[in-house]
């Protein structure tokens, strides 16, 4: 039986870069955690130790800094496109180049144009790949988006067996720490504007939806984003159910009309799905 090298790639991870843009008295800051990689014909390196076609990962790190200085990208998606284009053009052995960026959010302190505070409600993400034949793939999303609703959430009618202890409810707290990703259908787009529209559709639907389960609300959120933004092909959401358990105050002679809860992180329900279009135009 022959032993062969399978799929492989290499690159640099956790390249942290902060860029300051100064337009007069007003400043903007962008903090990105960048991962870059190359995939292609690197068999000689793995099998024979021949490094002649290997770009040092330290050079990849320096490239991120250098391009960040020169680029005029309006979004991290545009910066990602510049990065993968550079790596494909300068690495003939690479079949494809990829980049993933996680953005740390900063916002201005009220009344100051050059001072900031951490806006930690979520982390924006993007992933860009470019193949040798010029095919781009751009997807964006977020991590660690805290969502909570105190009404319009029920869970009942589920399976019961001898190990089921969960009580049905028509009025529960619904909390999640969501991760989302959507895939764009082009590259010449206003990614910042589209992100705002997609996130607005997702969050507004979460708040307004009369939820019968996390699954149902997840689907409603993804469908709303697809209905409102034609420039995306599909939406993938992960929504772990962060439970808030009602405290039994009866031993203390008190009632608890859905007011006092214990928030718990572990164990938690894990719910995820990808929702996409059936139109052939959106298929890979």
Q: Is 268 a catalytic residue?
A: no
Residues 12, 61, 86, 209: which is the catalytic one? Answer: 12
Pull the structure tokens for residue 155: 């869970």
Q: How far apart, in Å, do the first and last CA atoms of the chain sit?
A: 34
Q: Which of 242, 282, 239 has the alpha carbon at shortest distance from 262?
A: 242
How big is the chain by its Cα radius of gyration, in Å? 23
Q: Is 86 a catalytic residue?
A: no
Pull the structure tokens for residue 165: 């202890």
Query: CA 253, 263, 171: angle at the middle one, nearest 5?
Result: 70
Q: Within its chain, how far is the Cα of 182 from the centroid?
A: 8
Dist CA 168 CA 222 (whole Å): 26
Q: Which of 256, 202, 196 has the alpha carbon at shortest distance from 226?
A: 202
Mark 3-35 as b/e (b = at least 16 C-beta within 10 Å).
eeeeeeebbbeebebeeeeeeeeeeeebbbbbb
Residues 19, 57, 93, 185: which is the catalytic one? Answer: 57
Residues 86, 122, 242, 243: which is the catalytic one? Answer: 243
Q: Is 278 a catalytic residue?
A: no
CB 37 within 8 A of CB 63: no
Q: Strand pairing partners for 234?
A: 183, 276
Q: How far is CA 70 from CA 66, 79, 181, 236, in A?
A: 7, 10, 28, 33
**Which sequence positions are flagged as catalytic?**
12, 57, 243
């Amino acid at each position: 039986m022959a032993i062969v090298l399978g799929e492989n790639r290499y690159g640099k991870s956790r390249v942290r870069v902060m860029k300051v843009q100064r337009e007069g008295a007003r400043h903007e800051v962008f903090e990105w955690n960048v991962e870059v990689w190359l995939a292609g014909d690197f068999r000689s390196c793995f099998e024979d130790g021949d490094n002649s076609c290997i770009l040092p990962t330290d050079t990849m790190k320096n490239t991120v800094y250098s391009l960040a200085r020169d680029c005029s990208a309006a979004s991290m998606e545009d910066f990602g496109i510049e990065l993968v284009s550079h790596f494909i053009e300068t690495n003939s052995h690479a079949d494809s180049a990829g980049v993933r960026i996680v953005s740390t959010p900063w916002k201005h302190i009220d009344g100051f144009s050059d001072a900031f505070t951490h806006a930690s409600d979520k982390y924006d993400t993007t992933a860009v790949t470019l193949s040798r034949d010029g095919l781009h793939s751009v997807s964006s999303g977020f991590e660690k988006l805290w969502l909570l609703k105190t009404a319009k959430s029920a869970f009942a009618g589920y399976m019961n067996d001898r190990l089921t202890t969960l009580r049905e409810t028509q009025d529960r707290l619904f909390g999640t720490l969501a991760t989302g990703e959507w895939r764009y259908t082009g590259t010449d787009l206003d990614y910042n504007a589209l992100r705002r529209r997609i996130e607005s559709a997702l969050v507004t639907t979460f708040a307004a939806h009369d939820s019968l389960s996390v699954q149902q609300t997840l689907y409603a959120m993804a469908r709303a984003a697809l209905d409102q933004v034609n420039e995306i092909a599909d939406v993938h959401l992960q929504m772990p159910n962060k439970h808030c358990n009602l405290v039994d105050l009866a031993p203390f002679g008190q009632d608890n009309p859905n007011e006092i809860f214990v928030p718990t992180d572990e164990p938690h329900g894990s719910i995820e799905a990808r929702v996409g279009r059936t139109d052939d135009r959106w298929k890979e």
